[in-house]
Homo-oligomer: A and B are copies of this chain.
Amino acid sequence: MNDVQRIEPRTLKGFRDHLPETMIPREWLIETARRVYRSYGFAPIDTPALEYLEILTGKGGEETDKQLYKFEDHGGRWVGMRFDLTVPLARFAAQHVGKLGTPLKAYHIATVWRGENTQRGRYREFMQCDFDTLGTLAITADVETVLVIHDLFEALRIPGFTIRVNNRQVLNGLLDHFDLADKSVAILRALDKLDKIGADKVAAEMHQTAGATADQAGRVLQLAELHGSNQEILAALDRLVAGNEKGQAGVAKLAEMLSAVVAAGVDEGRVRISPSITRGLDYYTGTVFETFLDDLPGIGSVCSGGRYDNLAELYSKQELPGIGASLGLDRLLAALEELGMVEKVQTPAPVFLAYFDVSRLHDYLRLATAIRAAGIGVEFYPEPKKLGAQLKYADRRGFRVAVVAGENEWAQDQCQLKDLASGQSTTVPLDDAPGTIAELLKASPA
C-alpha cells in the first residue's frame, strides 16, 4: 500500500456514525417502540428510501423541496430520498389498501434524509418511528393512539411525562365565534408557535398572515390561559363553543376520549387537555397531541401526531381518514442522555470471559456455550494476554461480570466470578457458573 494515496476517513457534514455507546440505547428504544406497537396489533411496513421525485414533491412545501436529496438515476428517472414517513405512507396506502383492507394499522421505523441547515445541531439523516391507523373515523382509534404513547413511555421507564391533547374541531368552532373561520389555517399555524415565540409574536403573526385584529388575536390566545383540571378546562371550552355545532362536537370528543383512556388504566395526570395545541400542519382535522418530558419540557414534544381526514388524496380517489403519531427518536435519546437515563456501555453482552490458559481453549469454549445456553451473553477474549490487561478492557467496555479460570481453577472444575462494579470475587463449580452469574446480574440490574 505504500504506492497508493490514502483517502481521509470522514463522514459528510450533518451525518454521523453511530458507535456502540449510542447504538445500544438506540436499539433498545426501537425495540421497545416495536414491542408496544405490536401489542396493539400495529404491523410493520417498509417503503424504499428512493421514490419517484414527483411522489415526494407532490405534497411538500417549498421548504421541503429545498431540503430534498434528489438526482437523476442510471435510467434517467428523477428520484429523491424520502424526507419523512408520511408521504411514503400516503403513497403506500393508495397503492396497497385495496389488498390490505381497512382498518390498516401499520408502524414504520426508518431513516429519512433532509439537507437541512446543520447550524442548530440538526442532522441530515435521522430515524422516525411512526404508527398509524388508517381507514376509520372511530374515536377508538384516537383512544388507542394515546394508549400506545402512554404504554411506550411507561415501557421506557420514563418517570415523568405528559400527553397533551386537543381537538382541532374545538379550535375551528372557536374561530367561527371570533369571525376567523376563513383564516383558520394561518391562525392555527401561528398559535402552534406559542411555546416557542411567546404570545406577543404570535399575535403579531396572526395580524400579519391572517389580518386578525388585536382583539381577535387576544381572544384566541385566551385559550392558552385556561387552566385547572381536565374537567374544568372541558367545562370552560364547552361554554366558549356554546351554540357552535362543530365546536361542541369537538369538546364532546375530547371528553369521550379522556374518559376512555382513563378507563383503560391510564393515570389521569398523564393526559392533559391543552386548548392551544394545534400541530402546525394543515392536514390535521381532529384530535391532536404532543408528549412532553416533565423534567425536560424545553426540548419540546417527543411524540406528536393527530387525526387527518384524507391521507392519500394526492395519489388516490379513495378517502382514507386516519390517525397517527411519530416518535422523535433522536430527540428522545438526546433527552434521556441529558437526564442521565442512558447507561454508557459499549457491549450488549453482560459477561466477559478472560482467556489465558491456551491449553484449555476447548474448556473455555464449553463454558461460554453453557453461559449462553442460560440466555446470558458472554464475550470471550480472543487472545491469551495478561489477565490485568483483559480485565482493564472488560472494565472499559462496561461488562458487569468477568469470568476467570486458569490452571488452578480448571484443575478443580471451578471458575472465579468477578463483579466488575463492586470488585468482589467468588469461586464456584463450573456447573454452577451460569446460575450464579444470572443471580449476580439480577442483583445489580443495568
Chain A interface (Cβ < 8 Å from any Cβ of B):
1, 4, 6-13, 15-20, 23-24, 26-27, 31, 34, 38-52, 54-55, 58, 69-75, 77, 79, 81, 91-92, 94-96, 99-101, 103, 105-106, 111, 113, 115, 125, 133, 136, 138, 140-141, 143-144, 147, 151, 259-260, 263-265, 310, 312-317, 346-349, 352, 355, 361-362, 365-366, 368-369, 372, 376-383, 393, 396
Shortest CB–CB separation between residue A279 and chain B, in angstroms?
Answer: 21
Contact B44 A349 (CB under 8 A): no
Copies of this chain assembled into the complex: 2
- A113: chain B residues at CB < 8 Å are 49-50
What are 16 A-B pairs at a CB distance below 8 A? A6-B315, A7-B315, A9-B95, A17-B92, A17-B95, A19-B100, A23-B45, A39-B378, A40-B380, A43-B346, A69-B71, A69-B73, A103-B382, A136-B382, A140-B380, A263-B365
- Nearest B residue to A312 via CB reads B9
Cα(A310)–Cα(B314), bound, Å: 51
Contact B380 A12 (CB under 8 A): no
- A378: chain B residues at CB < 8 Å are 39-41
Cα(A10)–Cα(B349), bound, Å: 43
- A79: chain B residues at CB < 8 Å are 12
Contact B348 A41 (CB under 8 A): yes
Cα(A151)–Cα(B377), bound, Å: 13
Cα(A437)–Cα(B366), bound, Å: 39
- A48: chain B residues at CB < 8 Å are 11-12, 15-17, 125
- A94: chain B residues at CB < 8 Å are 9
Interface residue from B24, B50, B369 paired with A265 (Cβ < 8 Å): B369
Interface residue from B42, B45, B81, B91 paired with A18 (Cβ < 8 Å): B45
Cα(A359)–Cα(B71), bound, Å: 55
Cα(A105)–Cα(B381), bound, Å: 11
Q: A12-B79, A260-B365 are in contact. Are A100 and B346 (CB under 8 A)?
A: yes
Shortest CB–CB separation between residue A271 and chain B, in angstroms?
Answer: 14
Cα(A368)–Cα(B316), bound, Å: 34
Cα(A58)–Cα(B45), bound, Å: 35
Contact B260 A361 (CB under 8 A): yes
Q: A6-B316, A39-B377 are in contact. Are A106 and B20 (CB under 8 A)?
A: yes
